[in-house]
Amino acid sequence: MTAWGRFISENRGPLLVTPALAVLVLMNIFPLLWSFGLSFFKYRANRLQEPEFIWFKNYFKVLTDDRVWNRFQTTAMVVSIDVLLQLIVGFLLALMFEKQFPGRRVLLMLVLTPMMLSFVAVGAFFRYYYEPTFGLLSQAIKSITGEPFILLASPAGAIAGIIFADVWMWSPFVMLLVLAGLVSVPKHLYEAAEIDRTSWWRRFWTITFPYIRGLLLLAILFRTIEAFKLFDIVFLITEGGPGTSTETIAVYVYRVAFQYFKTSQSAALGYILLFVVIVLTNLYLYFVRRRAEEN
């Protein structure tokens, strides 16, 4: 083996990872670090003043702002309900498609289409579905009660409306991942279980679950991360209203960054958000690893 060849075989890992890391560093890490640095300055991107180093003042300011805490509470509620429902719906859909039946391929496509839609269309049409005069939901209810149904009039209704749209759009994502795991469970394991007359729950937990665990984790991880970034649906359906009741942290970050142009403060807020998400996702990973070790 030549020296070159040895070098390659000894450093296979780093070499294979390098192109991916290069792209990530260029397009993702650099901007991240840039805004991290910025979060210690007093700086607005649309002002001529030079940035001024102010240590942790931005973080202090953000963390003592009632608005921020309020938006975090809204986000926590939306994210937890949203992801939980996506998991349940996605899982049920996956169970539905687990078995072979005629038309399965076409029906599966029908269920997959929501997540292929553009936010602009989903936002505009869901706003229309919920709208009391023309909307389908209101029309359907009005034909029974005689009164228009105004879903978005109350904070609770508005949150429900947003979660419903997001769950509808992204449960297929969970479904697809779970399904990929489900169909890979070898049939002979089920046959054996059938002979043993084990309960459905036990069969699921001991046979099925190990096969979907990894992909399920991936689904939770990515849906949680995405849910924290929930922006377009909110902005297009309720614009954060009524009042501020559906203003998620992502919407608030957008306002601070691009409407108020408090560039460095938005960076600080972004990093606090990043910290929260990292802690949360690490908790997931910890629990899953522990379960994996138990098995």
Partner 1 sequence: MKLRITRSLALLAGAAAFLGAAAFGSIASAKDITINMAVPDWPPTRIMQDLANKHYKAPSGNNVKLVLDFIPWPNYYEKLAASLTSGEEKYQMAVSDSQWLGANIEGGYYLKLNKFIDADPELQAVFKDLHPNLVASYSTYPHKSDNYYGFPQMPDVLIAYYRKDLFCNADEQAAFKGKYGYDLPCDPQAMNNTDWDMINDFGEFFRRGSGDTLAGETLTDDFYGIAYQAGIGYDFNTMQINGFIWQHGAGIWDETKEPDGKALGVVNSDKAVAAFEHYLSLLQHMPPVVKTGTMDIFKVDELFRESKVAWIIQWIGFGESALSPDTSKVYDKVDFAMMPGLRADDGSIIRWSNIGGQPFVLTTWNSDEVTQEALDFCKWWLTSGTQTMFAKAGGQSGLRSVHTTEEYKTYRPWNHAFGPSLDWQKDVWHIPEFFELLVQQQQEFDKAITGQISAKEAMDHIAQFQDELLREAGRIE
Partner 2 sequence: MARRRREIGKAGWGRTAMSAVISFIYFFPVLWIILTAFKTHTDALAIPPKFLFTPTLENFANVFSRAYQRGGEEIDTHFDLFFFNSIFIAGTSVLLALAVGTLAAYAFSRFPLRGNDTYMFIVLTTRMLPPIIVIIPIFLMFRVTGMSGTYAGIILLYAAFNLPFTIWMMKSFFDEIPPEVEDAARMDGSSEFKVFFKICLPLVKAGLAATAVFGLILTWNEFLFALLLTGMQTRTVPVAMAQTIGGDIGVRWGLLAAIETLFLIPVVLVTFLLQNQLLRGVTFGTIRR
Site for partner 2, residues 27 to 86, rule: CB under 8 A: 27-32, 34-35, 45
Site residues (CB under 8 A) for partner 2, limited to 100-119: 100-105, 107-119
Q: Could you give the string, one character per residue 150-179, with x where binding to partner 2 holds by CB under 8 A and - elsewhere?
A: ------------------x----x--xx-x
Do 237 and 126 meet the contact criterion of CB atoms below 8 Å apart? yes
Residue from 98, 131, 226, 232 touching partner 1 (CB under 8 A): that is: 131
CA distance 201 to 221: 24
Gyration radius from the chain CA atoms? 24
56-77 as b/e, with b when 16 or more CB fall inside 10 Å? Answer: ebbbebbeeeeebeebbebbee
Distance of closest approach, residue 114 Cβ to partner 1, in angstroms: 22
Tokens found for residue 132 = 């009391």
Tokens found for residue 165 = 């749209």
CA distance 272 to 253: 11
Site residues (CB under 8 A) for partner 1, limited to 223-252: 238-244, 247
Which is closer to partner 2, CB of 64 or CB of 100?
A: 100
Distance of closest approach, residue 33 Cβ to partner 2, in angstroms: 8
In order of 11, 50, 181, 192, the CA distances from 189 in angstroms are 40, 67, 14, 5
CA distance 45 to 187: 60
CA atoms within 13 A on the CB side of 114: 20
Which is closer to partner 1, CB of 166 or CB of 215?
A: 166
CA atoms within 13 A on the CB side of 245: 16
Q: Could you give the string, one character per residue 111-130, with x where binding to partner 1 holds by CB under 8 A and - elsewhere?
A: ----------------x---
One-letter identity of residue 130? Y
Distance of closest approach, residue 91 Cβ to partner 2, in angstroms: 14
Residue from 152, 182, 227, 237 touching partner 2 (CB under 8 A): that is: 182
Q: Which stretch binds partner 2 (CB under 8 A): 58-66, 68-76, 239-247, 262-270?
A: 262-270
Site residues (CB under 8 A) for partner 2, limited to 275-294: 277-278, 281-282, 285
State the residues that interact with partner 1 by CB under 8 A.
45-48, 50-51, 127, 131-134, 148, 150-155, 158, 238-244, 247, 255, 258-261
